[in-house]
Amino acid sequence: MITVLPVEGMPEVHPGDEIAELITACIELFDGDVVVVTQKIVSKAEGRLVEVADDAERLALIERESVRILRRRDELVISETVHGFVCANAGVDLSNVDEGVAALLPVDSDRSARHIRDAIRARAGIAVAVVISDTFGRPWRRGLVDVALGCAGVAAIVDLRGTEDTRGRTLQATEVAVADELASAAELVMGKDREVPVAVVRGIDPTWLRESSVKAEVVRPHSEDLFR
Amino acid sequence: MITVLPVEGMPEVHPGDEIAELITACIELFDGDVVVVTQKIVSKAEGRLVEVADDAERLALIERESVRILRRRDELVISETVHGFVCANAGVDLSNVDEGVAALLPVDSDRSARHIRDAIRARAGIAVAVVISDTFGRPWRRGLVDVALGCAGVAAIVDLRGTEDTRGRTLQATEVAVADELASAAELVMGKDREVPVAVVRGIDPTWLRESSVKAEVVRPHSEDLFR
């Protein structure tokens, strides 16, 4: 059984804030917890905020954060970001920030996750895992889901290839994107219109707790990508 | 807070079995629970099993279940199924079925979900929601996640467009694919190598409990799809 707990009472986050400190003031954590933190407050704490006066500046910003544009329609740009993610508007986000300000994705979300994980360990003496989440659209399916931009202390992918199914037949392709599923599970208690930027997933399989990286394990290399 | 519970002790499923009966024998359900059932046992109960003697027959079957092939590489076919899903091998699945047998996707997974929901209500008098889940790959990201093929009694998409963010600014694109996130959350307690084809998600926002359909709400029409 796993439980997913919203972290209530988080204050507004400002550049320079230590997110680990804000979280540990709001919830008691336990060894093996996965702390899922939305990208927005990580970007704010890291000062990844840029002034955008108008739509033209916003578009220029999106292009600067992109290495390649895949599709455009009206105001929507689907691009590959400098981090290797394919998403809308290069992750440049105007919601829940001040008017005329855009939040960019963290420079290195795996590093951001490690920083929060290490700071929680240093402050509270608790060994948690951390996932940095963001809300992405998908081709072919309507609706947005939360996925992992970065992780620390939990497997981005759990590789079940080579294990046997219940008939003793070797499974072929069952690399489960655990960090993405953790981000999605966390989103179920966050909502978009509430002030809940952090959730805790408690009770995951302890064998999933290991060093990992979304960049290294999830971002699909061009060579094996059929849609880029 | 939500909890995600694996349903332990489910027996092997055979054509003609009533899945609702098997589930209610294994776990006590409560009003508002979301019962997530993997496609594999739904396909088995509905007799969606086809004999495949060899790779050529398997490939012919994939083509018959597809309306359009998007990509091919080696043994992998990415196609649009007759149901409108874009996935690997048209959902034709050789794992956890007998040697020489393939499981096809349910004909109408929303209908399958309604059937299980109604049968649970009839048997146990409990008003649950049901999600039929399957394991899909994604472009641009490695690893598989569970998504919803069908649903009953829970929103496939929760539309938060038009609600205000915490700054009072109207949010633009926040249609959350709740059924997909429920499927992903459920997968975290199922694993692929264990006999856990059903999980229960307890404690979701009760405003999400409504009539819905993956086919109507999640499958993206060609006209608005930038990648088909």
Specify whether B89 is located in the same domain as B202. no
Specify whether B12 is located in the same domain as B94. no
Specify whether B203 is located in the same domain as B166. yes
Specify whether B100 is located in the same domain as B111. no
d(CA A185, CA A177): 12
- In this complex, is the C-beta atom of B228 within 8 Å of any C-beta atom belonging to chain A? yes
The pLDDT-based confidence of B99 (bands split at 50, 70, 90) is confident
The tally of domains found in chain A comes to: 2
Mean pLDDT of A100-110: 96
Whichever domain contains A96, its CATH number is 3.90.1660.10
The pLDDT-based confidence of B5 (bands split at 50, 70, 90) is very high
Specify whether A20 is located in the same domain as A122. yes
User: A75 lies in which domain range?
Assistant: 49-105
- In this complex, is the C-beta atom of B5 within 8 Å of any C-beta atom belonging to chain A? yes
Specify whether B25 is located in the same domain as B78. no
Residue B225 domain-assigned (yes or no) = no
Please name the residues in contact with A121: beta carbons below 8 A apart, sequence gap of 6 or more. Answer: A127, A128
How far is the CA of A144 from the CAs of A78, A138, A184, A221, B129, in angstroms? 14, 7, 10, 23, 21
Q: Which of A105, A129, A153 marks a domain boundary?
A: A105
The pLDDT-based confidence of A99 (bands split at 50, 70, 90) is confident
- In this complex, is the C-beta atom of B207 within 8 Å of any C-beta atom belonging to chain A? no
Please name the residues in contact with A4: beta carbons below 8 A apart, sequence gap of 6 or more. Answer: A185, A186, A188, A189, A199, A200, A201, A202, B1, B2, B3, B4, B185
User: Residue A133: which of A221, A81, A76, A197 has the closest Cα?
Assistant: A197
Which of B135, B142, B217 is facing A142, going by the closest CB pair?
B217
Specify whether A145 is located in the same domain as A186. yes
- Chains A, B: CB contacts under 8 A, how many? 227
Specify whether A118 is located in the same domain as A181. yes
- In this complex, is the C-beta atom of A2 within 8 Å of any C-beta atom belonging to chain B? yes
Cβ separation A169–B71 shorter than 8 A? no
Residue in chain B closest to A100 (alpha carbons) equals: B169
The partner residues of A144 in beta bridges, in order of sequence, read B176
Residue B160: the pLDDT is: 73
What pTM was computed for the model? 0.95
Residue B97 domain-assigned (yes or no) = yes
pLDDT tens-digit series, residues A62-76: 999 999 999 998 888
Residue B75: the pLDDT is: 81
Residue A84 domain-assigned (yes or no) = yes
Q: Which of B59, B77, B105 marks a domain boundary?
A: B105
Cβ separation A157–B175 shorter than 8 A? no
Please name the residues in contact with A84: beta carbons below 8 A apart, sequence gap of 6 or more. Answer: A215, A219
Specify whether B100 is located in the same domain as B110. no
Specify whether B55 is located in the same domain as B6. no
Whichever domain contains B136, its CATH number is 3.30.1330.100
pLDDT tens-digit series, residues B72-98: 988 889 999 999 999 999 999 887 778
pLDDT tens-digit series, residues A159-182: 876 566 666 665 556 899 999 999
Specify whether B98 is located in the same domain as B116. no
pLDDT tens-digit series, residues B46-71: 999 999 998 899 999 999 999 999 99
d(CA A61, CA A102): 9
Specify whether A91 is located in the same domain as A68. yes
Residue A147: its chain B contacts at CB < 8 A? Answer: 141
Residue B183 domain-assigned (yes or no) = yes
